[in-house]
Chain A
Amino acid sequence: MKKLMEKLGIENIDELFDDIPEEIRIDGIDIPPGKEEIEVEREIVSILKKNKSFEDMPSFLGGGIKPHYVPPAVRHIVSRSEFYTSYTPYQPEFSQGMLQSMFEYQSVICELTGMDVANISMYDAATALGEAARMSKRVSRKDVFIIPKNISWEKKSVLANYAKNAGIKVEEIPYDREGRADISALEKYGNGEVAGIYLENPNFFGIIEDRIDEINEMKEKTGAMVVMGVDPLLLSIVKPPSEYGADIVIGDGWMGNPMNFGGSRLGIFSCRKEHIRQMPGRIIGATVDKNGKRAFCMTLQTREQHIRRGKATSNICSNEALCAIAFVSYVAIMGRDGLRSVAIKNMENAKYVASKLSSIGFETPFSRNFFNEFVAIPPVDAEALNEKLLKNGIHGAFMLGQHFPELRNGLLYGVTEMHTKETIDRMVEMTREAINDV
């Protein structure tokens, strides 16, 4: 510092801060002084020790996020510091690696969803829903956006914030006796009244959507855009949302990204070509360099805030780019057939848990096929059951009662490839014991 100060001809560093008015000058911050690396590491490790991870305590929580395996190769790829220490690729000639990976991510999303275009990510699935509602209004110039009653309360809350200041009215349709969005409730809306309808596959109760014709018919009748929220893994084995009539497909892009307490995951966002000008977020395109060689760059930027400012389709700037690299490398490592086997494993494991629970007196209120989550009602108080399990080192399923009073004692189980037969059997055995005790 001394050398630089001499070169600049200043004696006191504060000369460089002269513009700050005296009245508000401070000298230092009221936090402890800096620590050695080794101390910081110790301190953080000792705080984090108070957490119980999936390794410490198997969990059967669902509700959108679930544990999944992250192959070591994926970690290795996203740990390349040329990737993770770069900024948004404003200089394409120095960012071809990131840009090509992002282009591949978009390609993979489009293949899974059947959509024509995907952006490089939204912040998460909930903000993606908010952006989708706004986009459906921009495209249709209508004000009503419809959601099923059974989506997560977090999504509803975020959606409300994105919708209300855009003049969008969010209305709910109930779910039917089988736990599916009751699309017959849409009959009261006339053609052209609705901007968009949000459906999920699988839905919040884990149920796989199979009403392809009905949804397409409903779309025709209402003239609304269909927004579909998906688990990308399920899409490896079921027909893409495009066949269900979807115009926008969103979702939690968990692939390659750990649970992370719910953060640092991406929001999938993809749509049909005809609506691309109304799409939010960054898009990567292929082009050529001046010698005619294939190259990639950010494109269609006239939708974005740095060009359109207040009139942009969204304010998003930084997104979840590295999570998208994790996603595309996950898909590449697993491969088509690997993805499909994991999807099937998820479904089989969940079925196994459900049948075991049925055998010890649980009710499953919805008879439809489910993917890797399902609702079950224990023969005893759900909260008491969960407390017992927790004491025994197992985290029980998500209690639905608080948000769905009609399912007061309901539990939402999440089961994936991470749950071994031994873990499942141990959980079921402890559940059986708990039922007898409670």
Chain B
Amino acid sequence: MYRMANYDEPLLNEIEERKARDVEIKISDKIRREKLNLPSLSERDVVKHFIHLSQMNYGVDTGIYPLGSCTMKYNPKLLEEVARSDKVEHIHPRQDETTVQGSLEIMHNLEEALCKITGMDAFSLQPIAGAHGEFTGMLIVRAYHESNGEERKEVIVPDSAHGTNPASARMAGFEVVEIPSKDGRVDIDALRSALSKNTAAFMLTNPNTLGIFEKDILEISKEVRKVGALLYYDGANLNAIMGKARPGDMGFDIVHLNLHKTFATPHGGGGPGAGPVGVKAELEKFLPVPRVVKEGETYHFDYSSRHSIGKVSNFYGNFPVLLKAYAYILMKGSDGLKEATERAVLNSNYLMSKVVGKHYTLPFGGSRMHEFVVSAKNLKERGIRALDVAKRLLDYGLHPPTIYFPLIVEEAMMIEPTESESMDALDKYAEIMNIIAEEDAELVRNAPSNAPIGRVDEALAARNPVLKWGDF
């Protein structure tokens, strides 16, 4: 039976101080700090502390991590290795261009490869995460319409969209119009009636967050174009179509990618990631500065575009993440990326065939791609919810799927196994999900009992915020 390590690990400030010493601070009395309430611990104790904590954490290296929409694929170790060089780490962003030709070349090559993969004409690597890419994209949408002398106020998103889509549109100053889905896809009629001369853009994930490909995409893009709006691609699900289709060919004007999903850079427990933004040629002049340009055999930063939206982050993006994605693309190459997609879709369909049944139902008809969303609503009559199934999976040493997203599916469980998992791992996952559905309801509701801690009282955390060690 699986067991995760379980230490009653003290907080850093509860560990015995062994390295205190006197330090004289020669600075004027007026501003000198007298008290600094941080511990001075021995290296031995600090390392032990964090190793214990790491053992109370689950990662892709630990096992299957089918968190839908997150593409938790295996992160090849070479990627970590190449980023550990002093030629990556000890490079100052303000260095003379002649001394950072290697970094610029990597960025240039990565931009080119991303263009080829997506069918876009130009990329900026500056955005730091997916949502940051969306925000950048929305700033470009605004700049584009303004350059046409138009002030369009609305951005349309489907009700299945990720929360960052409406949030990013709002941050860029747009009003958000949400349209209902029909049979798990964009309802073209609803879209048509929402579109107007006031529409700045339509944001779409394809395949969408249900794992369903929007097969009417060409019609959608025609409708969007008709009113002079732009079509925005949320690239969270690019892993479903690499080497099979390109957002650029579907009529998308702007895309963002999540390198920490599709391109195997590790997610770090919530970052650092990278959310590059690609555009069609007519929008290139709006991209953030600086752009990386190649002249002869040398690379430069180009700050000259008068139409650029300016900067969206301090420097050039999360360079180590960009480098890792580039290494991944080199490793996989044209066939490897296509195979990754094929295997991801195959794995997902295989797992779906084993999971969907009387316990877990598949809302909406048609086929699924790299992920699928089941509803656990049939278990409700036994008093079991999607959350309970998720917690019970922990007892078996398996990471649960994304739950309660997308919002349009009741008791949603969104499952994305990725290409990394073996058939055995998928068989086991499906088997356990089905076993759980038939287990004693009380047992499932009380899960987990094998994890380092029992179910967490999240309501208490919100009601009585304890947000630092001084708050206890």
Contact = CB atoms under 8 A, between A and B. Distances in A.
A8 B311 contact: no
Contact of A318 (B33, B53, B166, B273): B273
B46 interface: yes
* Residue of A34, A35, A41, A54 with highest tally of chain B CB at under 10 A: A34
B432 interface: no
Contacts of A212: 30-31
Interface string B32-54: 11001111110100110111111
A321 B269 contact: yes
Nearest to B268: A322
B148 interface: no
Interface in A36-76: 37, 40-41, 43-45, 47-57, 59, 61, 63-67, 70-71, 73, 76
Contact of A263 (B47, B57, B100, B321): B321
B201 to A, nearest CB: 14
B243 A26 contact: yes
Nearest to A244: B31
B57 A237 contact: no
B23 interface: yes
B116 interface: yes
B191 to A, nearest CB: 17
B383 interface: no
Interface stretch (A78-86, A183-191, A217-225, A357-365): A78-86
A316 interface: yes
Interface string B168-188: 111111001000000000000
A132 interface: no
B306 interface: no
B423 A4 contact: yes
A28 B244 CA distance: 7
A279 to B, nearest CB: 10
Contact of A310 (B166, B215, B246, B402): B166
Contact of B47 (A28, A49, A73, A283): A73
B158 interface: no
B57 A86 contact: yes
Contact of B131 (A83, A262, A283, A316): A316
B460 A287 contact: yes
Interface in B64-97: 65, 67, 70, 72, 75-76, 78, 80-82, 85-96
A262 B315 contact: yes
B362 interface: no
A335 B100 contact: no
Contacts of B31: 208-210, 212, 238-239
A236 interface: yes
Contacts of B24: 344
A29 interface: yes
Contacts of B130: 317-318
B456 A287 contact: yes
A83 B268 contact: yes
B28 interface: yes
Interface in A276-310: 276, 282-291, 293, 295-297, 299-302, 304-310
Contact of A93 (B43, B117, B448): B448
A43 B33 contact: no
B300 interface: no
Interface in A83-114: 83-98, 100-104, 106-108, 110-112
A14 B75 CA distance: 26
Nearest to A9: B353
Interface in B311-337: 311-323, 326-327, 329-337
Contact of B399 (A94, A317, A340): A94
Contacts of B260: 318
Q: How large is the interface on A (under 10, 10 to 19, 20 to 34, 35 or more residues)?
A: 35 or more
B269 A84 contact: yes
Contacts of B193: none
A436 interface: no
A53 B87 CA distance: 5
A327 to B, nearest CB: 12
B468 A117 contact: yes
A1 B268 contact: no
A24 B400 CA distance: 35
Interface string A136-167: 00000000000000001011011011101111
Contacts of A56: 86
Interface stretch (B225-233, B343-351, B435-443): B343-351
Contact of B423 (A3, A79, A306): A3
A127 B132 contact: yes
B454 A37 contact: no
A237 B30 CA distance: 12
A331 interface: yes
Nearest to B407: A309
A312 B329 CA distance: 35
A45 B36 contact: no
A435 to B, nearest CB: 20
A266 B314 CA distance: 11
Given A16-B369, A158-B311, A87 B72 contact: yes
Nearest to A64: B314
Given A65-B93, A118-B468, A263 B331 contact: no
A337 B177 CA distance: 54
B353 A8 contact: yes
Contact of B455 (A100, A118, A289): A289
A384 interface: no
Nearest to B218: A21
Nearest to A307: B163
A240 to B, nearest CB: 7
A368 B343 CA distance: 63
27 contacts: A1-B346, A31-B117, A40-B331, A44-B82, A49-B87, A59-B95, A64-B314, A94-B399, A94-B451, A95-B57, A108-B38, A116-B467, A117-B465, A123-B128, A124-B128, A158-B310, A167-B173, A236-B38, A259-B93, A260-B91, A263-B320, A299-B461, A306-B162, A315-B132, A319-B129, A332-B39, A332-B50
Given A118-B468, A305-B131, 7 more contacts: A7-B423, A26-B249, A33-B335, A45-B85, A238-B31, A322-B271, A322-B272
**Which 4 A-B pairs have CB atoms at the shortest separation, nearest pair first?**
A262-B315, A262-B93, A165-B173, A34-B333
